[in-house]
C-alpha cells in the first residue's frame, strides 16, 4: 500500500548525497572479556512467519501475525514494502470490525500521544488509485514490545488506529507493518540485536499456499533458481529499481522501451503505470481493452475474451553484475475478475495513475523476492 505521507518522505530524501566509500584504517586493540560475559554480540538467526492469503477471486494481500504488548496480544498485519510504519486497529476505534489491540491490558504500553492521519493511495483490492481521501486512518502514537516470528523488540514505535474510513472494513487483518527500504521499528531493533538486515518473501498464489516471510535471511528451500540481484534506485524508504524497458509478448515500442523507475510494493495487488504506459501496453494486447469510465483509472474487456488473450509482460532490469534479466508477469494475471458494477466486463491488471510506476503481488507471486536492506539491493528467483 502506498501512503501519501510516505511518498512525501521519499521525495524529500531523494536529494541526500551518497557518501563515497574510502578505505579506512582501523586500529585494533585487544580487550579482555569480563568474566561471565561474552564479548561477541549474540547473533540472532533468521525466522519464518507463515502468511495467509486474502483471496477474493484473485490474490489480494498476504498477511501474518505479530504480537504486541505484555502479555502478548496477537495482531495480524500486512507486511507492506510500500510503507514504513506500524499501525493496527485498537479498542480506541469503535467502528473497526477487525481484532483490536487493547492497550489498557498491556503493562509495557506507553502512550506517546501524537495524533496523526495517514492516507493511502491504494487499498487492499484492485480498485483504482484515489487521491480523494478514500483510504484514511486516524492514529494515536505509542510504544510497546513487538514480537515477530518469536523475535522480541522492546519500545517499538507504533500507531493505534482510532478510526478508519469504511474502505478498510473488508480487510481480514488488523493492521499494516511497513517494511520500507530503511529499517524502522521492530526490524531496526532486531538488526541492532544482531539480526542480518534483509528479509525474504514467498507470496504464493492461493492454490499453492505456504506463503512465508523470512526475517533476517532467505529461505533457500522455497526456490531452485539463481537469485538475480539489482541495486536499489532510490535512497529513501521506497523499494525501487531502474528498468530499461517493458516488452509485451516479446515486442516493444519507443514509449515502452524508455528507462523508468519502478516501485515494488508487497501491499498492492495489481500494477500501476502512468496513463501513456498503460495504454501503450493494452494497445499491444488488444484494442478491445478500454477504460471503464465508471471506475476512472481502471480498464476492462468482456470476460469472454480473456482466455483468448496472450499477454506476457516482460519488465527488464540490469543485475548488479551487469547481466540483464526480466521479471515476467504471465498471461494468467491479465484479468483480476469481473467489475462489481458490470459482471460481464473483466477488469484488467494495470490501473493508470500518473506519477507512479508500481508492481505488486501479481508480479511478486511468481518469484521468491529478497529485500536486502543492508546492501540496498533487491533479489528475485523464479519459482
Ligand atoms: C494468527 O493467529 C491466529 C490465532 O491467534 C490463528 O488462528 C491464525 O491462523 C494465525 N494466522 C497466521 C497467518 O498464521
Ligand atoms: C527479456 O524479454 C525480452 C522481450 O521478451 C527479450 O527480448 C529479452 O531477450 C529478455 N531478456 C532476457 C535477459 O531474458
Please state the domain count of the chain. 2
Q: Check pocket membership of 235 for ligand 2, CB cut-off 6 A.
A: no
The residue out of 182, 215, 248 marking a domain boundary is: 215
What is the dihedral sign for C-alpha 224, 229, 235, 240?
negative
Cα separation, 325 vs 230, whole angstroms: 9
Active-site position among 59, 127, 171, 265: 265
**pLDDT tens profile 63-95:** 999 999 999 999 999 999 999 999 999 999 999
State which ligand 2 atom lies nearest to the alpha carbon of 323. 13
Q: Are residues 65 and 111 in the same domain?
A: yes
Asked, for residue 144, whether it belongs to a domain, the answer is yes
Q: Check pocket membership of 210 for ligand 1, CB cut-off 6 A.
A: no
Q: Check pocket membership of 172 for ligand 1, CB cut-off 6 A.
A: no
Boundaries of domain holding 363: 4-26+221-382
Query: Counting ligands in written order, which one lies closest to the CA of residue 48?
Result: 1
| Residue 41 pLDDT grade (very low, low, confident, very high; cuts 50, 70, 90) | low
Q: What is residue 243's predicted lDDT score, i.e. its pLDDT?
A: 98
Asked, for residue 122, whether it belongs to a domain, the answer is yes
- Asked if residue 123 has pLDDT above 80, the reply is no
Query: Counting ligands in written order, which one lies closest to the CA of residue 51?
Result: 1
Q: What is residue 26's predicted lDDT score, i.e. its pLDDT?
A: 40
Asked, for residue 299, whether it belongs to a domain, the answer is yes
Q: Which of 11-20, 178-187, 208-217, 228-237 has the lowest mean pLDDT?
A: 11-20
Report CA Rg, the chain.
22
| Mean pLDDT over the full length of the chain | 89
Q: How far is the CA of 213 from the centre of ligand 2 (A)?
A: 29
Which of 225, 244, 246, 250 to probe ligand 2 with, by most ligand atoms within 8 A of CB? 250
Q: 159 or 355: whose pLDDT is higher? A: 159
Asked, for residue 34, whether it belongs to a domain, the answer is no
Q: Are residues 169 and 305 in the same domain?
A: no
Q: Are residues 167 and 315 in the same domain?
A: no
Asked, for residue 42, whether it belongs to a domain, the answer is no
Cα separation, 10 vs 235, whole angstroms: 8
Cα separation, 127 vs 20, whole angstroms: 43
Measured CA angle at 306 (ends 302, 310), to 5 deg = 135
Q: Are residues 139 and 244 in the same domain?
A: no
**pLDDT tens profile 274-312:** 999 999 999 999 999 999 998 889 999 999 999 999 999
Q: What is residue 244's predicted lDDT score, i.e. its pLDDT?
A: 97
Q: Are residues 319 and 350 in the same domain?
A: yes
Q: Are residues 275 and 185 in the same domain?
A: no
Active-site position among 80, 127, 144, 171: 80
Report yes or no on whether pTM surpasses 0.85: yes
Q: Are residues 265 and 336 in the same domain?
A: yes
| Residue 131 pLDDT grade (very low, low, confident, very high; cuts 50, 70, 90) | low
| Residue 7 pLDDT grade (very low, low, confident, very high; cuts 50, 70, 90) | very low
The residue out of 193, 215, 237 marking a domain boundary is: 215
Q: Check pocket membership of 149 for ligand 1, CB cut-off 6 A.
A: no
Q: Active site includes 102? A: no
**pLDDT tens profile 137-163:** 999 999 999 999 999 999 999 999 999
What percent of the residues of the chain are helix, what percent strand, and what percent coil, each to the nearest 5? 15, 40, 45
Q: Are residues 361 and 335 in the same domain?
A: yes
Q: Are residues 98 and 192 in the same domain?
A: yes
Q: How far is CA 339 from CA 69, 95, 132, 289, in A?
A: 41, 27, 21, 14
Q: Are residues 355 and 227 in the same domain?
A: yes
Q: Active site includes 127? A: no
The residue out of 215, 238, 253 marking a domain boundary is: 215
Q: Are residues 150 and 239 in the same domain?
A: no
Asked, for residue 376, whether it belongs to a domain, the answer is yes
Q: Check pocket membership of 50 for ligand 1, CB cut-off 6 A.
A: yes
Asked, for residue 190, whether it belongs to a domain, the answer is yes
Asked, for residue 41, whether it belongs to a domain, the answer is no
DSSP string of 288-327, one letter each residue:
T-EE-TTSTT-EEEEGGGGGG----EEEEEE-TTS-EEEE
Which among 203, 194, 177, 202 has a CA at the least distance from the CA of 68? 177
Q: Check pocket membership of 326 for ligand 2, CB cut-off 6 A.
A: yes
Q: Are residues 257 and 138 in the same domain?
A: no
Q: What is the mean pLDDT of residues 233-238?
A: 94
CATH of the domain at 95: 2.40.70.10
Q: What is residue 22's predicted lDDT score, i.e. its pLDDT?
A: 36
Q: What is residue 340's predicted lDDT score, i.e. its pLDDT?
A: 85
Measured CA angle at 123 (ends 359, 1), to 5 deg = 45
Amino acid at each position: 500500500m502506498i501512503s501519501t505521507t510516505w511518498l512525501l518522505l521519499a521525495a524529500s530524501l531523494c536529494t541526500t548525497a551518497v557518501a563515497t566509500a574510502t578505505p579506512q584504517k582501523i586500529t585494533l586493540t585487544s580487550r579482555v572479556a569480563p568474566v561471565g560475559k561474552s564479548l561477541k554480540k549474540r547473533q540472532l538467526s533468521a525466522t519464518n512467519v507463515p502468511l495467509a492469503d486474502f483471496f477474493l477471486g484473485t490474490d489480494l494481500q498476504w498477511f501474518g501475525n505479530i504480537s504486541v504488548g505484555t502479555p502478548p496480544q496477537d495482531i495480524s498485519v500486512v507486511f507492506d514494502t510500500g510503507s514504513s510504519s506500524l499501525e493496527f486497529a485498537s479498542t480506541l476505534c469503535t467502528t473497526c470490525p477487525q481484532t483490536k489491540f487493547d492497550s489498557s491490558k498491556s503493562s509495557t504500553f506507553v502512550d506517546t500521544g501524537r495524533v496523526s492521519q495517514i492516507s493511502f493511495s491504494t487499498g487492499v483490492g484492485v480498485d483504482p488509485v484515489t487521491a480523494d481521501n478514500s483510504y484514511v486512518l486516524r492514529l494515536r502514537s505509542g510504544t510497546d514490545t513487538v514480537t515477530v516470528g518469536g523475535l522480541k523488540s522492546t519500545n517499538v514505535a507504533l500507531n493505534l488506529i482510532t478510526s478508519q474510513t469504511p474502505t478498510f472494513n473488508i480487510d481480514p487483518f488488523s493492521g499494516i507493518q511497513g517494511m520500507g527500504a530503511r529499517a524502522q521499528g521492530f526490524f531496526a531493533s532486531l538488526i541492532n540485536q544482531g539480526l542480518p538486515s534483509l528479509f525474504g518473501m514467498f507470496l504464493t498464489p492461493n492454490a499453492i499456499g505456504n506463503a512465508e516471510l523470512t526475517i533476517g535471511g532467505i529461505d533457500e528451500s522455497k526456490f531452485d533458481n539463481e537469485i538475480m540481484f539489482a541495486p536499489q534506485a532510490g535512497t529513501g524508504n521506497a523499494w525501487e529499481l531502474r528498468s530499461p524497458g517493458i516488452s509485451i509478448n516479446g515486442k516493444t515500442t519507443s514509449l515502452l522501451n524508455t528507462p523508468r523507475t519502478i516501485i515494488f510494493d508487497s501491499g498492492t495487488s495489481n500494477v500501476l503505470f502512468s496513463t501513456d504506459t498503460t495504454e501503450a501496453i493494452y494497445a499491444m494486447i488488444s484494442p478491445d481493452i478500454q477504460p471503464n469510465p465508471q471506475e476512472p483509472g481502471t480498464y476492462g474487456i468482456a470476460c469472454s475474451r480473456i482466455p483468448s488473450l496472450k499477454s506476457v509482460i516482460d519488465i527488464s532490469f540490469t543485475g548488479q553484475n551487469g547481466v540483464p534479466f526480466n521479471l515476467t508477469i504471465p498471461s494468467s494475471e491479465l484479468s483480476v475478475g469481473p467489475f462489481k458494477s458490470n459482471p460481464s466486463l473483466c477488469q484488467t491488471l494495470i490501473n493508470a495513475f500518473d506519477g507512479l510506476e508500481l508492481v505488486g503481488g501479481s508480479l511478486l507471486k511468481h518469484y521468491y523476492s529478497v529485500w536486502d536492506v543492508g546492501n540496498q539491493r533487491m533479489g528475485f528467483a523464479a519459482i
